[in-house]
């Protein structure tokens, strides 16, 4: 539970669209995601907001295959 609380805090990005996308995925899918996707999500939250926004809106694609897969999963949900 402590980890989820920390992740919730890190999902607060200051941009409503990002807050909804990453926060929503955390609340609805993180717990049942594979350990690979969970690790990718933690890594994703380390990304700067402009980069994260570009990925999640489909403007760019992460070069890291795990992050690319996670972005696809978040965009599909």
| Tens-digit pLDDT profile for residues 54-73 | 999 999 999 999 999 999 99
Q: What pLDDT does 52 receive?
A: 96
Q: What pLDDT does 25 receive?
A: 97
Q: What structural domains and CATH numbers belong to the chain?
A: 2-76 (1.10.150.250)
Q: What pLDDT does 77 receive?
A: 86
pLDDT at 1 over 80: no
Q: What pLDDT does 38 receive?
A: 96
- With CA atoms as reference, report the closest residue to 71 among 50, 54, 56: 56
Residue with tokens 């994703």: 44
The 10s digit of each residue's pLDDT in 25-61 is: 999 999 999 999 999 999 999 999 999 999 999 999 9
Query: d(Cα 65, Cα 68) in Å, to the nearest integer?
Result: 5
């Amino acid at each position: 539970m402590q980890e989820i609380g920390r992740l919730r805090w890190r999902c607060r990005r200051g941009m409503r669209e990002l807050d909804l996308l990453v926060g929503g995925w955390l609340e609805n899918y993180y717990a049942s995601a594979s350990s690979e996707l969970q690790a990718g999500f933690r890594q994703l939250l380390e990304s700067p907001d402009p980069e994260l926004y570009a990925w999640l809106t489909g403007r760019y694609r992460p070069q890291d295959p795990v992050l690319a897969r996670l972005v696809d999963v978040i965009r599909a949900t």
